[in-house]
Structures are given as structure tokens and as C-alpha cells.
Structure 1
Amino acid sequence: MRRGIFSAIALTLATAAGAQQTPTLNSRLTGDLVPTHDPVIAREGDTYYVFGTGLSVRTSKDLVTWTGGKPLLDNTLPAWAEKAVPGAKGMWAPDISFVNGRWRLYYAVSTFGSNRSAIGLATSPTLDPAAPGYGWRDEGMVVASTPASDFNAIDANFVIDREGRHWLSLGSFWNGLKLFPLDAKTGKPADPTAKPYAIAERPAPRGAPAPVEAPFILDHGGYYWLFASYDYCCKGAASTYYTVVGRAKAITGPYLGKDGSSMMQGGGTIFLRADLPEKQRFRGPGHVGFLHDKDGKDYVAYHAYDRDNKGAPTLRIAPVTWGPDGWPKAED
């Protein structure tokens, strides 16, 4: 009997150890992962696509092995963008959605540290360059900001609410994140003169930076979930970026963290963070993009800086589960 008890205990411990050693998706990622900044993820047919700043393209059949391809649109600015944002050199922070039979690619045009920025739109019937009809059509400017604006028109994210209304969230620093109602047919603001909704802000002393950017909104479980990146990206392994989430009953907010803290006051609940413990390899995880896959599973794509590879911005992908309390959790 005693031997049987010991055998059962040993089997339990071995099973637990095996479970702890199960490799995560992030630990299995391979291929062309670097450099990736501001990723967004989508699936068409049997192929996964990740697009990033520079309109970089990566594809995979299994979410594990990634192959880089030719940048979309050659990362070449259309004439309207060169005029709207003098000095801009490329396209940043894309967002991708399939709407009314075409893929909508929103992208940002700016120069670092400036809010003279614009969001552009291009559309294509397919993401596959080898498919019939493939080709991106320039749909022009969507939203612009100037030094007189209280927001920065970069980091766009498109979402459709439960009533079928179309929205675009965006923002970086300045007075935080904004939400624009869109015309469902054009994908552009329904009323260009209307003031956008404020959905997140990090109040700071006058003249001090207010680091919040990269909104992404999900509809899940009767709530709208707003994900945003706080603090600083783009400093390699010294980056302090992290991702928070809040939820609201209405898409316009107010978005609150699990503790009731308001994202209009710099609150929210931590979703991704890499500064604890200090020895963690991948630093500054942020600028998330989500995929609700065909099998019902949820994934989050984001970038983080690899301390073991000179701080290179690296593609990361993690399954997302929704806990008994209704809140999301990303696998390490």
C-alpha cells in the first residue's frame, strides 16, 4: 500500500514537472522574427500574416515558423502623404481588417516625436500576392493631426461594435487615445468636423510627456476591451513599454481596470509586462494586435526587445485565455 502511495505521488510530481516544461508558443517561434515593430496579425485561408512598421510582411502556415516577404506598397508614400507630412519616409503601425469583401489596411505617416501625422488607407480583395485580383488601392487620407491638435494621428485600430457601427481608435502621447466614428462604406470619419471621443489618457505635469499609445479594442463577453501601451518603446533592451487593459460596457468608455481605475487617469490592469523579474530576456512588450482564429482560439501578437540580441525588436505571439473573472491573460 505504501509503495502504491509513493508511486502515485511520484507520478503526480512527474506529470506536474512535464506540464511545467511544455514549451510555449513564444519559445517555439522561429524564422524571420527580426526586426518587427508594431505588429498586427490576420489569417486568410491557411496562411497567417503579420504586418509591421515599414509595412513589413511575414507569413506562416502554423503560427510557429515565419517567413519574411516583400513590404506592402514597397513602403512608398503616396503623393498626398508626402504633402500632408513633410519629411516622412515610410509607413508605420499598420492595422488590418476584412470589411465588405476587401481588406482594409490603415497605416500611419509621421516623423518621430511629432504630431504632424496622418492615417492612410489602402484596400485589397486578398492578402495573397499570388491570388487573382491581388493589389492594394490607395484610398487616401483618413485622419490627420497638426501641432494645433491635442492628439497624434498614428497607431490606428479599426473595430465594428455590436450595433454594426464602424470606429477607428488611434493616438500616441499628447492628450492620449481617441475614438472616431467612421462611415461604414468609406472607412473614413462620418463627420470630419466632429470631435472624437477621448478613451484613454495619462495626465502629466504641464510640459511633461504622457506616454500612452497603440490602442486595440476587442468585443468579448459583453464588454469592450481597450488595450494600450504605456511608457517608452524604441530604446532597445532599455525600453520600459508595457501593456494594460480596461473594459467598458460602451465602446466609447469609460474603460476601467479590474481595480476600478480609469484609463482616462492612466489606470488599467497590466496585461503584458517584462520588467519583473529583472532578468527576463524580452523587454518592453507592447503594441498589441489580436487574432480571433477560426478554431475559436485567441492570440496576441506584439513586439519586445531581445536583450540577448542587442535589443532587437522581435515578433512575439501568445495565446490568450479568459479567466473565471472574465479578464484576459496572455501565455508567457
Structure 2
Amino acid sequence: MIQNTKYLLVALFTLLINLATNAQQGEIESHDPSTILKEGNSYWFFSTGHGIKATYSTDLVNWKVSPQTVYKKDSFPTWIKEYVPKFQGHFWAPDCIYLNGKYYLYYSCSSFGVTQSVIGVATNETLDPTSAKYKWTDLGMVMASKERKDFNAIDPSILKDKQGKIWMTYGSFFGGIGAVELDSISGKIKTGESIKKVAGGRESDWEASCLIQEGEYYYLFVNNGLCCKGLNSTYYIVCGRSKNPLGPFLDQTGKDLNAGGGTVIMRTEGKFQGPGHVGLLRDKGKKIISIHYYDAEDQGKSKMNIVEMGFKKGWPYFKRK
């Protein structure tokens, strides 16, 4: 009896260690996780799903899905249907940033493989659904696309740089990745600004961009390959850098990302199939990168993963804990 109890305790202890390890790796089901934000003692990110899914943690280890989505499944802004008539409430690839005392949540609405897409934005004073101040206010359309030559209006990524300017990169296949300055108050495209192509084009496989600033450079992370195919996904992350947020972005060999360049930052490794969709959280002196991957040990399910970013000779690298 004592020996059986001992074996049971060892098995239980091993299980707890495995669960803790999995949690630390951010292994919660998620697709297209946004940049992680910290409000008070809690961390939040948003991801693809009906109504826009919110997930939170107090330690970046144990994550819980909030029962409160940004929009109710069958109740979303009616203006979206003007741009995407077949939209049914399944929002894609959100990103969120804190500006002017509010959280600005950018989201995209589309259908797989088409360019009839739109990016919208909503604001809230808090990310905590239990707060009396919690209320999402939709501000409408930011950018729309229709033709194959357009920058497909999905996968928005937002950066506030050291100069206080706000930049959005977005796009997918078709016209490539576009970048534009946003108005810091309205959260929409700044009057008089035009969109600049910074990567891809000619229907090549570029999407899920993320622009960050480090030192004198802006770094543009972009995904190549295919997503959304489980274990058949071929996503991998490439990068270029520029001293201008509108490019040109060059890789380590000096090749422009508009001409097929891109220094490889992360590929499939072990069970981490098709990593992609970079977001950066700076917290307690660390550069914490959130991505998603397809779990080769769990039927190819899409999960969020946290890695750390470092720099060597002016170029970023990712490493898992």
C-alpha cells in the first residue's frame, strides 16, 4: 500500500511538472495572438475568433480565456457588412495598443483567400471585464481592400515609436505588406499620408507583419509560407531593418524585403510547427515575443507560445526558455 502510494505521488508530481512546463511555454489554444499588454497586475492578449477572444494571465505562465469577448458572437458593427457582405462575426488577427488613456484594438474581417477585407478599430478604457469602465466603443473603418493589387486589409500591427508617432503595418499575399502613419488621436490613417509597400507583393506569401523599434533601427518581422493548415502549415519568420519606418527594409545580406529578401529568424523546430505572428512586450527589462505555432504533438492545434528576443551585432534572434 505504501509502495503504491509512493508511485502515485511520483506520477502526480511528474504530471504537475509537465503541466507547469506546458503552461510556461504559453501552450493555450490560440491563433494570431496580438501583442501582449499589461494592465495592473494582469497580462492580456486578443486573438482570432468569434467576437474577438481575450485571454489573460497574472504571471505569463498560466493563461485563462475570458468569458467576455469584445463583441457578442451574433452582434457586431453593421458597417462591416458594407465591406465584407458574407461576414459572420469571426474576426481575424487583432492587435492592441495603449494610447491617450485608452486601449485601441485593431481587428480584421475577411474571408479566406480573398481581398475583400477591412480593418476596424475599437477603444476601451480598460481590459478588465469586471470594471465599471469596461465598454468597447467601435470607431469604424481604418482601411479596406477589394482588388487583388491592393494591400489586403488584414493582420494589422501597431507601433508607437520613440518619437511618439504611430505606425500600422498590414497586408497578406496579393499586394504585399503596407505601412502607413496613423493619427495619434483618432487611431486612423493620418490625413495626407499614403501607404508604402515595405515587403512582398506580386501575390507572394507575405503576411502577419510586426514593426518594432530598437536603437537606431526599425525592424520588420513578416511571415513567409502558409498558415492555417495545421501540421501542413509552412509558416516561418523573416526580418529586415531600416532607419525609416517606411523602409526600405533590408536583410543581413542587404537584400530588400520588396525583392524577396528576409533574414530567417525562426522556422519549425520539434513540435513547434509553422511559428508566426510576432508581437513584442517589453516587461521587467525583458523583450518577450508572443507567437503562435501548430503543435505537432497535439493534432496540429494552434497555440500561443512565448519566446525571448535578444540582439547580436544589430540583428534579433529568438530563443525559447
Residue pair 1:244, 1:272 contacting (<8 A) in 2 also: yes
How far apart are the structure 2 equivalents of 1:218 and 1:249? 11
Asked if 1:45 is matched to 2:35, the reply is no
Match of 2:14 in 1: none
AA at the equivalent of 2:55: R
| Matches of 1:114 and 1:77, distance apart in 2 | 21
Aligned mates of 2:26, 2:71 — CA distance in 1: 20
Task: State the match for 2:256 in structure 1.
Answer: 262
Q: Does 1:291 align with 2:281?
A: yes
Cα deviation per residue 1:128-180 (whole Å; 9 max; x = unaligned)?
11123111101111100012642100000112233322221100001210012
Q: When the two structures are aligned, how many residues end up with a matched partner? A: 298
| SS at structure 2 position matched to 1:74 | coil
Q: Which residue of 1 aligns with 2:181?
A: 181
Please list the CA deviations of residues 81-139 of structure 1 after superposition, one character each: whole Å capped at 9, or x if unmatched.
02221112221100010001000000001111111000010000111111231111011
Q: How much has 1:249 moved relative to structure 2?
A: 0.6
Contact kept in structure 1, 2:26 and 2:306, CA below 8 Å: no
1:93 and 1:107 in contact (8 A); partners too: yes
Distance 1:230 1:261 in 2: 16
The answer to whether the Cα contact below 8 Å between 1:32 and 1:58 also exists between their aligned partners in 2 is no
Whether contact under 8 Å (2:117, 2:154) holds in the other structure is yes
Q: Distance in 2 between matches of 1:148 and 1:38?
A: 23
Post-superposition shift, 1:37?
Answer: 0.6
Counterparts of 1:1-332 in structure 2, within 5 Å, are: 27-29=21-23, 33-40=27-34, 41-54=36-49, 55-70=52-67, 71-75=69-73, 76-89=75-88, 90-147=90-147, 149-191=149-191, 195-201=194-200, 203=202, 209-274=203-268, 280-293=270-283, 295-323=284-312, 325-332=313-320
In the TM superposition, structure 1's runs of 4+ consecutive aligned residues that sit over 6 Å from their partners are none
Determine the C-alpha separation between the residues in 2 that align with 1:98 and 1:38: 19
- Aligned partners of 1:94 and 1:105 also within 8 Å: yes
For 1:123 and 1:143, how far apart are their aligned partners in 2?
16
Q: 1:30 to 1:299 in 2, by over 3 A?
A: closer
Q: Is the 8 A contact 2:149 2:175 kept in 1?
A: no
* Cα distance change of structure 1 residues 227 and 182 upon mapping to structure 2, 3 Å threshold: same
Secondary structure of the residue aligned to 1:264 is helix
SS of equivalent to 2:63: strand
State the Cα distance separating 1:33 from its structure 2 match. Answer: 4.0
* Amino acid corresponding to residue 201 of structure 1 in structure 2: G
Deviates more, 1:73-82 or 1:96-105: 73-82
- Contact kept in structure 2, 1:179 and 1:199, CA below 8 Å: yes
* Secondary structure at 1:302 match in 2: strand
The 10-residue stretch of structure 1 (157-166 or 307-316) with the greater mean CA deviation from structure 2: 157-166
Separation in 1, partners of 2:311, 2:39: 25
Q: Identity rate of aligned residues, in percent?
A: 38
Q: Which amino acid aligns with 1:290?
A: L
- Is the CA contact 1:118–1:153 (under 8 Å) kept in the aligned structure 2? yes
Query: Gaps spanning 5+ residues in structure 1: where?
Result: 1-22, 204-208
- Structure 1 residue 218 displacement after superposition: 0.6
Q: TM-score, normalised by structure 1?
A: 0.84
Please tell me whether Structure 1 or Structure 2 has the larger radius of gyration of its CA atoms. 1
Give the Å deviation of 1:28.
Answer: 4.1
Distance 1:321 1:30, change over 3 A: closer
The answer to whether the 8 A contact 2:26-2:60 is kept is no
Task: Give, in whole Å, the separation in 2 of the partners of 1:149 and 1:165.
Answer: 28
C-alpha separation between the residues in 2 aligned to 1:81 and 1:99?
A: 24
Question: What is the CA-CA distance between 1:202 and the residue it aligns to?
Answer: 5.1
Cα distance in 2, alignment partners of residues 331 and 200 from structure 1: 25
Q: What amino acid is aligned across from residue 233 of structure 2 in structure 1?
A: S
- 1:8 corresponding residue in structure 2: none
The answer to whether the 8 Å contact 1:161/1:251 transfers is no
| 1: CA distance, partners of 2:64 / 2:185 | 34
Any conservation in 2 of the 1:169–1:216 contact (CA below 8 Å)?
Answer: yes
TM-score (norm 2): 0.87
What's the offset of the Cα at 1:31? 10
Given that 1:32 and 1:68 are in contact with CA atoms closer than 8 Å, whether structure 2 keeps it comes out as: no
